[in-house]
Amino acid sequence: MSSRRPAFVASTADLLPVAESIAEHWREVGATGHLLARNLDTGEHLGFDVDTPVPLASVAKVPLALVVLDGIAEGDLDPALAITIDPATKSLGPSGVAAFRYPATLAVGDLLHLTLTVSDNASADALFDLVGVEHVDRRLRDWGCTGIRIRHRMHRMYECAAGVAGDDFGLALELAIRDDAAGQHSIETLDPAHANVGSATALVELLQRCWLDEVSRPDATAELRRLMALQVFNQRLSSDLRADTVRVSGKTGTFLHLRHEIGVVTAESGDRVAIAALTRSARRASIAHDIDLAIGAAARSAFEALRS
């Protein structure tokens, strides 16, 4: 992992130290990565290394959901369409239908719910199968979301990790960390050339357009905002922000050594800040409480610095 100084961005000089202290804190806990936080109304922003394409893990479920919601809003897709997911062929995952043991039949609208709220891989792949991976990628092109590429279903991540490491999580993690240091990729879904990728800039841009109804149709973006507010995971962006007066609508992404979350922080006061926090670390552990908290601390610092 490189110890080079990150490329900082800040709309005003007083925001630069905030970005620097966040990068320093991440370095202290052993994480490196990419951060961009932008006030949706003032355009003020801060961050570092914002244009690097990063494998998205479950963050890819946000553009997927937007494309499916767009199809519904256009009248091409029926949200009540029932889809049956067979446990024998479903995608693996720890939550939602991916963890179910019996066939489940759900409507498209509810598959979207499980995809965004509990990061259900089986629901997400049922949606990918419904609209097609290429269609999602093409739609993003149409919308001018050039910094995001969608190239595979969710289950591809498991297949690539298990392909090199069997079902040994520790070995897959070790390979991911070593590959990072060596700058090569034995797990294809960690290779920016083959993975679902996005830069912090592109992801914040997407969030901003969803929150300001500047992409797809308002029906679709409104439903995306509603579902992202229902996410059950709160160990990252919202870990130090949550209050009755502050809401975080987000989507996490976790795969081997990657720990991401993108989301929009909205306060009762009316402030809205979109944040993309994408990290990787050399930690030989599945759970890194302090890295999650460091992402939460970054979100809080950025939000407090950028709100008016």
Partner 1 sequence: MDLLAHLEAYVAVTEERSFSRAADLLYVAQPVLSRRIKTLEQHLGGELFDRSRRQITSTDLGIQLLPHAKDVLSRVEHLRQVASAALASASQPVGVPPDCDPAGLARVIRAGAGRGVTISVRELSAEERADGIAAGSLAFALLRVPPESASHRVPLGLATAAPTSRRAVHLESLRPRRGAVAEQAPPILLTAEDGLGFAAERFDKAAARAGLAEGRVRRAASTATAVAETLAGHAMLLCAEPFARRHGLAWSPLADATLHRGYELASTGNRDVPAWLEPLLVAAVGAGAEPAGKAVDRDVEIPDARARLAARG
- CA pair distance 236, 106, nearest whole angstrom: 29
- Choose which of 5, 141, 178, 289 interacts with partner 1 (CB under 8 A): 289
- Least distance in angstroms from the C-beta of 155 to partner 1: 7
Mark 206-245 with x for binding to partner 1 (rule: CB under 8 A) and - for no binding: ---------------------------x------------
- Choose which of 123, 252, 279, 301 interacts with partner 1 (CB under 8 A): 252
- CA pair distance 79, 282, nearest whole angstrom: 42
Considering the complex, state which of residue 277 and residue 288 has its C-beta at the smaller distance from partner 1. 288
Full strand arrangement of the beta sheet holding 54-55: 54-55, 197-198, 148-149
- Least distance in angstroms from the C-beta of 156 to partner 1: 9
If binding is defined by CB under 8 A, does position 299 make contact with partner 1? no
Residue found under tokens 């620097």 = 20
If binding is defined by CB under 8 A, does position 86 make contact with partner 1? no
At 62, list the tokens: 């946000």
Mark 167-186 with x for binding to partner 1 (rule: CB under 8 A) and - for no binding: xxx--x--------------
- Choose which of 6, 33, 93, 263 interacts with partner 1 (CB under 8 A): 93
Q: How many other CB atoms are there within 10 angstroms of residue 12's CB atom?
A: 10
35 neighbors 276 (Cβ within 8 angstroms): yes
If binding is defined by CB under 8 A, does position 288 make contact with partner 1? yes
Q: What are the φ/ψ torsions at residue 171 (nearest 5 degrees)?
A: -70, -45
- Least distance in angstroms from the C-beta of 277 to partner 1: 14
Considering the complex, state which of residue 44 and residue 120 has its C-beta at the smaller distance from partner 1. 120
If binding is defined by CB under 8 A, does position 119 make contact with partner 1? yes
In 111-147, which positions are buried (b, 16+ CB within 10 angstroms) versus exposed (e)? bbbbbbbbbbbbbbbbbbeebebeebbebbeebebeb
- CA pair distance 68, 252, nearest whole angstrom: 19
Nearest CA among 43, 50, 2, 62 for reference residue 22: 50
Nearest CA among 94, 48, 69, 77 for reference residue 200: 48
If binding is defined by CB under 8 A, does position 152 make contact with partner 1? no
Considering the complex, state which of residue 222 and residue 293 has its C-beta at the smaller distance from partner 1. 293
If binding is defined by CB under 8 A, does position 129 make contact with partner 1? no
At 128, list the tokens: 């990918």
If binding is defined by CB under 8 A, does position 28 make contact with partner 1? yes
- Choose which of 35, 118, 150, 203 interacts with partner 1 (CB under 8 A): 118
> Residues binding partner 1: what is the number (CB under 8 A)?
43
- CA pair distance 168, 48, nearest whole angstrom: 34
Considering the complex, state which of residue 39 and residue 53 has its C-beta at the smaller distance from partner 1. 53
- Choose which of 45, 149, 155, 272 interacts with partner 1 (CB under 8 A): 155
Considering the complex, state which of residue 100 and residue 219 has its C-beta at the smaller distance from partner 1. 100
Count how many Cα atoms sit within 13 Å of the Cα of residue 260 in the half-sphere of its side chain.
Answer: 31
End-to-end Cα separation, the chain, in angstroms: 36
- Least distance in angstroms from the C-beta of 41 to partner 1: 29
79 neighbors 111 (Cβ within 8 angstroms): no
If binding is defined by CB under 8 A, does position 192 make contact with partner 1? no
Name the site residues for partner 1 (rule: CB under 8 A).
28-30, 57-58, 91-95, 98-99, 118-119, 121, 154-155, 157-158, 161-162, 165, 167-169, 172, 233, 252-256, 281-290, 293
